Amino acid sequence: MTNSSLLNAAASDFPAWVSSKQARIEQTLAQTLPAGNIAPNTLHDAMRYSALTGGKRVRALLCYAAAEMCDTNIVIADAAACAVELIHAYSLVHDDMPCMDDDDLRRGKPSCHKQYDDATALLVGDALQSLAFEALSQPRLCNNTGLQASQQINMLNMLAKATGSTGMAGGQAIDLASIGKSLTQAELESMHQLKTGALIQAAVLLGAINGSNAQMAAVRTYAANIGLAFQVVDDILDVEADTATLGKTAGKDADANKPTYVTILGLALARQHAQKLYENAIAAIAPFGDSAQRLRELATFIMQRSF
């Protein structure tokens, strides 16, 4: 079997790849998070409750796919995927708090501040963020992995920027400030590029750390487009879920004050826009053929959440 046909054979089994990588990140997170019987027990319990509740782990999958494309060592990919998922988990815990989105449920379970209390949720988010940087700054990551310490510094700097006030936290601030306001599509896009796009882009770029300049540039464009597509699909799903469950979900009227791709573009144009972003993402990684197959499949996976 040639290398290329091996890749094709593997590529045909995307669902199995997703399952194995989801299991892998779950195990990595379980090992990285302090055990619930280590003091302070309640804080550690609550951190595990919040970070191990699953979800699709799209960010970790993107990181692993980019790592496979760029031959990044799996030890590095594990640490990067873990760090990104810890940052994502922290953001969900804080976003759910009463002073933010005030969500009582997260994936069908009580959100952290409901299961524990507000003070614990605050500390859980804080400590998950620290743990992300701890996981990515492990000195062992440069042991026989081909990673240079200077590259690891770049990864940490990239993650910090994606997480902070000019990344995810900044996007959340703009989102809060935009409630009840009308935004242009450009303003909405720039908000989402920070709020969800920055971390998705970091996930892909961290996975691609071993890549050539051409590969890094390509995955950067891929990530920027797929990050926005992810958000457009989210907005479409919100409307479709609304339609399907009309009158059941309280509080959605208040949400209607938030500008979305659907409120700005309408449903049909929003779908077209998502499709265009998807095509841009696919085009960016086209030069890398079979080695980019997982990233292509993930792009389709992200789109198929809605249609």
Q: Which residues bind its own copies (CB under 8 A)?
A: 34, 38-40, 42-44, 47, 90, 94, 97, 99-100, 117-120, 122-123, 125-127, 129-131, 133-134, 137-139, 142, 148-150, 152-154, 156-157, 159-161, 163-167, 169-170, 172-174, 176-177
- The verdict on whether omega for the bond into residue 40 sits within 30 degrees of 0, i.e. cis, is yes
Q: Are 174 and 191 in contact (CB under 8 A)?
A: yes
Q: Considering the complex, what minimum distance in angstroms separates the CB of residue 81 from its own copies?
A: 17
Please report, as a single letter, which amino acid is at residue 83: A
Residue-level length of the chain: 307
**Nearest approach, Cβ of residue 280 and its own copies (Å):** 25
Residue 163 beta carbon to its own copies: minimum distance, rounded to whole angstroms: 4
As measured in angstroms, the least distance from the Cβ of 21 to its own copies is 25
198 or 299: whose CB is closer to its own copies?
A: 198
Nearer Cβ to its own copies (6/153): 153
Backbone phi and psi for residue 249, each to the nearest 5 degrees, phi listed first: -90, 105
In angstroms, what is the minimal distance from the CB of 36 to its own copies? 11
Residue with tokens 């990239």: 158
Q: How far is the CB of 55 from its own copies (least distance, A)?
A: 20
Q: Residue 61 or residue 86: which is nearer to its own copies going by CB?
A: 86
Buried b (16+ CB within 10 A) or exposed e, 5-21: eebeeeeeebeebbeeb
Nearer to its own copies, 166 or 185 (CB): 166
**Closer Cβ to its own copies, 231 or 293, answer by number:** 231
247 within 8 A of 195, measured Cβ to Cβ: no
Q: CA-CA distance, 291 to 8, in Å (whole number)? A: 9
> In angstroms, how far is CA 115 from the centroid of its own chain?
24
Cα–Cα distance, 69 to 75 (Å, whole number): 15
We find the least distance from the C-beta atom of residue 56 to its own copies, in angstroms, to be: 24
CA distances from 231 to 72, 177, 199, 306 (A): 28, 18, 12, 11
Task: Give the nearer residue to its own copies in terms of CB position, either 147 or 284.
Answer: 147
In angstroms, how far is CA 285 from the centroid of its own chain? 19
Is the CB of residue 50 less than 8 Å from the CB of residue 124?
yes
Q: Kindly tell me which of 136 and 277 has the beta carbon lying closer to its own copies.
A: 136
| In the complex, least distance from residue 198 CB atom to its own copies, rounded to whole angstroms | 11
Helix (H) or strand (E) holding 106: strand 105-106
Tokens of 305: 């959440």
Residue placing its CB nearer to its own copies in the complex, 97 or 239 = 97
The closest of 75, 48, 55 to 64, measured between CA atoms, is: 75
Backbone angles phi, psi at 267, to 5 degrees: -65, -45
